[in-house]
Amino acid sequence: MGKTTPLYPQHLAAGGKIVDFAGWEMPLHYGSQLEEHHQVRRDAGVFDVSHMTVLDLSGERCQQFLRYLLANDVARLKTTGKALYSCLLNSQGGVIDDLIVYYRDSEHYRLVVNAATRDKDLAWITQQALPFEVTIRERDDLAMLAVQGPQARSKALVLCPAAMQEAVAELANFYGTWGPDDWFVARTGYTGEDGFEIMLPAAEAPALWEALLAAGVAPVGLGARDTLRLEAGMCLYGQDMDETTSPYAAGLAWTVAWTPEDRPFIGREALATDYLEGPQQVLSGLVLLEKGVLRGHQTVTIEGLGTGITTSGTFSPTLGVAIALARLPAGVGEQVTVRIRNRDVPARLVKPPFVRNGKALISL
Amino acid sequence: MSNVPTQLKYLQSHEWLRDEGDGSVTIGITDHAQALLGDLVFVELPELGNKLQAGHECAVVESVKSASDVYSPVSGEVIAINELLVDAPETVNTDPYGAGWLCRVRLSADNDLAGLLDATSYTALLAEESH
């Protein structure tokens, strides 16, 4: 059996169908992946994301280190709790991982990186940190729950420690707050809905989970997590991008901070051509124009331009049509089709996200 | 424990067949199959008039997670398809032996319905598979 989070007994009690995810025993769903998806868009759902990796960095040169390590610029973070989404690049400009970094003060930052990339991220960050004498503390003593949906914040707020409730209630989008007793609550998420990601001591996580369920928050598994994030146009590392992909080919050019020009960061030189001349490949959204399901690794043909490939695809429960992210040649073409089994099915290019705050952003 | 109606015949690949007594049969996927697949979001049915071959793929059922081939238990011609599934594929999940039927086939001469599994044998197969 793989690793389990502190909430494993709760997953079993809620009827979770357990599958392996990156060496962890995680719930794929608790009965209906589609129902769980709808719950998050309409009300509130809770995800156990304790398998993700939380790193607390500290040191006098912490900011200097992160400005070198990350493609986005942490100097943009000046308020305690402010968050930044960034790619971690290798020197060829390929994406090692995508992550969120929270600013505590110039000598203390928190990074949250993916579960599947924990080992390589930790090795890379530790090695790069050596000349900066930054201390890296992995917070595997913490669990993490994401509560997402239009009712998520109001239901989760009252379950946070009393001393931090006011600060939590006032959190602006993409900000977090450190509370007593090692709690940290951030207004971030991976669903395109409002909500919180709550980090807390592992021993307290089961009680929070049960209190959330008692408040009517639905348990939501990894299956719905994937359909939600894809509707929200969010990338999944390992699927939409990997070390052979530049941020440009992953639709993440907006996360690369080119100014100030005198900030060297790992991968800067390698990306310069994409930046100056425009990238050869882009990531686009696709909507299938007939009934069917889009998946990853399907060939996309753009008349007059060439072929590309879908990276992630699904049937969108909220929209009722198939959607996908696809890596395509840059440029303007005509008719778009996707090869599904032995047919070329017509599709339409759209700019993601497909859904935000429960509403369709694309015309159907 | 999944539902296995006694009057139907079955394939190892979890399809069922109902003999309509008039030279045609109705086919679908079993309760066990729909539970494994999860919520279906798309069903690709054969076209009317298609000639099916026993043991060959005749339809595809897709859940969010995966696509699965449906194998025809018989050889023959497709004389009806369940249009309901175009807009309501989840019917296969909620009523796999009734409203979730996939298609109806007029049997060609060379079929051997007796060679298919009966309910007892299929149930035994399910019990073995779960070990």
Interval A112-147: pLDDT, tens? 999 999 999 999 999 999 999 999 999 999 999 999
Q: Do B102 and B11 meet the contact criterion of CB atoms below 8 Å apart?
A: no
| pLDDT band per the 50, 70, 90 thresholds, residue B65 | confident
| B41: contact with A, CB 8 A cutoff | yes
| B62: contact with A, CB 8 A cutoff | yes
Contact map slice: A 328-357 vs B, CB within 8 A: 341
Q: Does B131 have pLDDT greater than 70? A: no
What is the model's pLDDT at position A33?
93
Reply yes or no on domain B9-121 having CATH 3.40.190.10.
no
| pLDDT band per the 50, 70, 90 thresholds, residue B38 | confident
Q: Do A33 and A227 meet the contact criterion of CB atoms below 8 Å apart?
A: yes
A317 CB neighbours in chain B (<8 A) are 41, 64
A315 and B60 in contact by Cβ < 8 A?
A: no
What is the model's pLDDT at position A273?
86
B39 and A33 in contact by Cβ < 8 A?
A: yes
User: pLDDT tens digits for A58-111?
Assistant: 999 999 999 999 999 999 999 999 999 999 999 999 999 999 999 999 999 999
CB contact burial A322-343 (16+ within 10 A = b; e otherwise) = bbbbbbbeeeeeeebbbebeee
B86 CB neighbours in chain A (<8 A) are 291
- CA distances B101 to A181, A301, A342, B25, B92, Å, are 57, 35, 24, 11, 7
Q: What pTM value is reported for the model?
A: 0.91
Q: Which residue has the tokens 């879908």?
A: A310
Report phi then psi at A81, rounded to 5: 95, -10
| A295: contact with B, CB 8 A cutoff | yes
| A293: contact with B, CB 8 A cutoff | yes
- CA–CA separation, A261 vs A271, rounded Å? 14
What is the model's pLDDT at position B113?
85
- CA distances A283 to A82, A233, A275, A335, A354, Å, are 28, 10, 15, 17, 14
Q: Which residue has the tokens 């109001």?
A: A154
Q: Which of B37, B63, B65, B83 best probes binding to A when mutated, by most A CB atoms within 10 angstroms?
A: B65
Q: Does A328 have pLDDT greater than 90? A: yes
Tokens of B4: 């296995």
User: A257 CA to chain B: closest CA distance, Å?
Assistant: 36
Q: Which of B64, B66, B87 best probes binding to A when mutated, by most A CB atoms within 10 angstroms?
A: B64
Q: Do A174 and A82 meet the contact criterion of CB atoms below 8 Å apart?
A: yes
Range of the domain at A308: 280-360
Examine residue A353 and say whether the peptide bond preceding it is cis (omega within 30 degrees of 0): yes
Closest CB to A34: pick one of B39, B62, B67. Answer: B39
User: B44 CA to chain A: closest CA distance, Å?
Assistant: 8
User: pLDDT tens digits for A208-259?
Assistant: 999 999 999 999 999 999 999 999 999 999 999 999 999 999 999 999 999 9
The SS3 call for residue A335 is: coil
Closest residue of chain A to B40, computed from CA coordinates:
A34
CB-based contacts of A88: which residues, under 8 Å, 6+ apart?
Answer: A69, A70, A71, A95, A96, A97, A98, A99, A113, A121, A124, A125
User: pLDDT tens digits for A255-274?
Assistant: 999 999 999 999 999 999 88
Q: What is the residue type of A347?
A: A
HSE-CB for B86 with a 13 A CA cutoff: 8
Query: How many domains does the structure of chain A reveal?
Result: 1
| Residue A333, domain CATH | 2.40.30.110
Of A115-124, A305-314, A332-341, minimum mean pLDDT range: A332-341
Percent of chain A's residues with pLDDT above 70: 100
**First-last CA distance in chain B:** 14
- CA–CA separation, B90 vs B67, rounded Å? 14
| pLDDT band per the 50, 70, 90 thresholds, residue A25 | very high
What is the model's pLDDT at position B1?
64
Tell whether A318 is covered by a domain: yes
Around Cβ A35, how many Cβ atoms within 10 Å? 16
B30-55 mean pLDDT: 94
User: pLDDT tens digits for B76-117?
Assistant: 999 999 999 999 999 999 999 999 999 999 999 888 888 899
Closest CA to A99 of A54, A62, A136: A54
* Range list of H helices, chain A: 8-13, 33-42, 62-69, 118-129, 152-157, 162-169, 205-214, 222-231, 268-277
| A29: contact with B, CB 8 A cutoff | yes
- CA–CA separation, B61 vs A29, rounded Å? 19
Q: Do A218 and A199 meet the contact criterion of CB atoms below 8 Å apart?
A: no
> Alpha-carbon Rg of chain B, whole angstroms?
14
User: B41 CA to chain A: closest CA distance, Å?
Assistant: 7
**Over chain A, what is the mean pLDDT?**
96
Tokens of A323: 């959607």
Query: If you count them, how many residues does chain B have?
Result: 131
B34-41 mean pLDDT: 90
Q: Does B130 have pLDDT greater than 80? A: no
| pLDDT band per the 50, 70, 90 thresholds, residue A362 | confident
CB-based contacts of A32: which residues, under 8 Å, 6+ apart?
Answer: B38, B39
B62 and A293 in contact by Cβ < 8 A?
A: yes
Around Cβ A126, how many Cβ atoms within 10 Å? 12
HSE-CB for A27 with a 13 A CA cutoff: 28
A292 and B44 in contact by Cβ < 8 A?
A: yes
